[in-house]
Structure 1
């Protein structure tokens, strides 16, 4: 396999993207970053009404289109209640558990544009005070934000401009290790966004002519179920979501190859498209794994549920500890980009 020598670039780009707060519903800033990046590459883009971004590369054939997606929205939270003790109760955005964010640093984004820092803690954190500090349930009732400001009651908090409905983002704590790992929150799915941006750059640098007009949707509502279910042109035949591969007991996915999903909670992905992706990986000596993700849905499955007549597929880098403090390796990023590169230059399944 001949790998495009951009691994450091890709990791640094992902580091930038994960550092921009963007819980679902609060993605304007990160979309602007992606748009700026694409404009630097002189790629045509447009916004959809939901706030997502669509980039288009023209192809030799415009009668049949492809669409690739990656989502830039992340897990997060919203202020549910300003508590009488001067702390904040949370309402979660996305499918994760409270224990995944216990002890995490966070930002509270007010409607007036101010940002306050805080820490997400159990109310019963102090073992010197609470006998049930270790046993109490990690839930909405017990978890709260301790704001890094002098506040003692709800009035003090509201005096800062913090109110119900303010978004809460989590500190990604991103680190790049010397031996190729990247660990951070929100690699789901900002790792894939970085890969798509680097793929587009590679195609532009090499002045490649795609066989089909290809759209790249940077969706912004995937974590809540409907990011990529619209703005699919009638000409679109193949729709490929680029999203994290899920790792754990019984899974084939690892941190070093590209994961090709055969089935998730929505059902099987298109068999012929999956077979085409597998053959591309084999013929180009790309490390890959086939896998089933039992508790998972993607932008591609959302597109199918919305009634689009498409072949849908799902590939992505293997991500450990999904929806918590995640990790992957540059090998997985490279294998994913390499598969996508050969895919967008290949013939369609039905050609």
Structure 2
């Protein structure tokens, strides 16, 4: 395996471009066009599903057992639920995120024909009017409304603008990269993962490396609402690695530096052999890494396995503080993710048995085994 240089300028440029493209789940056409055009520049062929997920393809020396790398393009967002007599809009979340992080955010409303700007506010937003009630109001999407930046004096005026129930709302990202390498923005989940994957693919393509087996980079569009990779994985894929965010918080083992390898999330443990292979790659190539377990978390892997795909799964994560809120990561973490992907895609297939999943025990791997006492005289019988 060759240690290829990750182009960090490319990674950061792609990331900022992605962050500035609104893509709440269900409204992702624009970002699909952007990523598709970038894959064309990298000379990586792809096809697009009916819903807009991208299935790219890099030819390897062998067809099977194929590998897939998944990262989702969609983000959290909101939708109009009502048009009020006071000209404000009722809102509900797309994806799962707290109303606490919606308060005060700037947004774009997408109507059938145009866009408008506005701000999501609490129902009681002015301390000069409500005094201490602004601090005691319950944090809830029912206690939010959207103020439109248009001259409207009635519900009818709002309707005349073409605003309707069901219109999509995109949340402004507010991206900022500091001199110390920190990246602050909404929607780093999972646009930072997408940028890291594209940077790894660029390194492989620039070096002209032929991979040991076929690789399928997958860019999904409905992960935040649970559908993700359910209908995009080719038959010949035997292993899929998802790229998503870790959770930086007390009680977690994730770090804002390096790559985090998830051992388990709320859907259960990930594949033992694939996960430990990624850990070995990190150790052998001096990639800063740590393991973690996520209790309230699911990724593209959950939708893939729920759809019945018989594949090995593993989750690698870039650092993310305040996930689904005001998020922060570090460029070192994104580089570590890209390097791990770059090495993994070059690595030889470890389990040849996966080429034919309904084979005999021959070639099927073993985990660390417990020593079993078989002699009956060593078993205490009461």
- TM-score, with structure 1 as normaliser: 0.98
Residue in structure 1 matched with residue 12 of structure 2 by the alignment: 11
Report the alpha carbon displacement of residue 188 of structure 1 after superposing the two structures with TM.
0.2
Give the stretch that moved more between structures: 138-147 or 310-319: 138-147
Question: Where in structure 2 are the equivalents of 1:225-236 lying within 5 Å?
Answer: 225-236=226-237
Rounded to whole Å, the distance in 1 between the matches of 2:139 and 2:147 is 16
Deviation at 1:150, TM superposition (A): 1.1
Question: Which is further off, 293-302 or 20-29?
Answer: 293-302
Q: Deviations over 1:33-57 (max 9, x none)?
A: 0000111111101101221111100
Match of 1:168 in 2: 169
SS in 1 for 2:218: strand
Quick one: distance in 2 between partners of 1:137 and 1:28? 35
Contact 1:82–1:154, Cα closer than 8 Å, also in 2? yes
Aligned residues: 350
Contact residue 177 and residue 184 of structure 2 kept, 8 A:
yes
Aligned position for 2:129? 129
TM-superposed deviation, 1:256: 1.0
Residue number in structure 1 paired with 2:102: 101
Distance 2:152 2:42 in 1: 47
Distance in 2 separating the partners of 1:3 and 1:141: 50
User: Kindly tell me: are residues 302 and 260 of structure 1, through their superposed partners in 2, closer, same or farther at Cα, counting changes over 3 Å?
Assistant: same
For 1:73, the equivalent position in structure 2 comes to: 74
Q: Counterparts in 2 of 1:23-172, with a 5 A limit?
A: 23-112=24-113, 114-131=114-131, 132-172=133-173
Question: Deviation digits for residues 84-140 of structure 1, max 9, x if unmatched?
Answer: 11011101101111001110000001111x111101100101111114111111223
Distance 1:257 1:160 in 2: 48
For structure 1, which runs of at least 5 residues remain unmatched after alignment? none
- 1:266 alignment counterpart: 267
Do the aligned partners of residues 172 and 199 (structure 1) sit closer, same or farther apart at CA in structure 2, a change above 3 Å counting?
Answer: same
Task: Tell whether the 8 Å contact from 2:7 to 2:203 is kept in structure 1 after alignment.
Answer: no
TM-score by length of 2: 0.90
Provide the secondary structure at the position in 1 that maps to 2:136.
Answer: coil
Larger radius of gyration: 2
Report the alpha carbon displacement of residue 3 of structure 1 after superposing the two structures with TM. Answer: 6.5
C-alpha distance in 1 between matches for 2:159 and 2:308: 45
- Whole-angstrom CA distance in 2 between matches of 1:86 and 1:183: 33
Structure 2 residue aligned with 1:209: 210
Structure 1 residue 262: deviation in Å? 0.3
SS at match of 1:141: helix
Deviation string 1:312-333 (CA, Å, 9 cap, x unpaired) is 0100211111001111111001
1:267 is displaced (CA, Å) by 0.5
- Counterparts of 1:168 and 1:6, CA distance in 2: 33
Deviation at 1:141, TM superposition (A): 2.3
DSSP 3-state at the match of 2:141:
coil
Q: How far apart are the structure 2 equivalents of 1:153 and 1:312?
A: 53
Deviations 1:222-274 (A, max 9, x none): 00001111121111110110111111111111111101000000010001111
**CA distance in 2 between partners of 1:117 and 1:295 (Å):** 33
Partner of 1:332: 333
Q: Would you say the 8 A contact 2:23–2:73 is kept in 1?
A: yes
Deviation at 1:196, TM superposition (A): 1.1
Q: Shift of residue 349 of structure 1? A: 3.4
Q: CA deviation at 1:2?
A: 5.6
Alpha-carbon distance in 2 for matches of 1:6, 1:152 = 52
- Secondary structure (helix, strand or coil) at the match of 1:129 reads helix
Question: Residues 173 and 184 of structure 1 are in contact (CA less than 8 Å); yes or no, is this contact kept in structure 2?
Answer: yes
Quick one: distance in 1 between partners of 2:154 and 2:209? 60
> Deviations along 1:163-208, whole A, 9 cap, x unmatched?
1111000110000111111110000000011111111111110001
Q: Deviation of residue 63 (structure 1)?
A: 2.4
Tell me the distance in 2 between the aligned counterparts of 1:6 and 1:63: 30
SS in 1 for 2:126: coil
Post-superposition, which runs of at least 4 consecutive aligned residues in structure 1 deviate over 2 A?
Answer: none
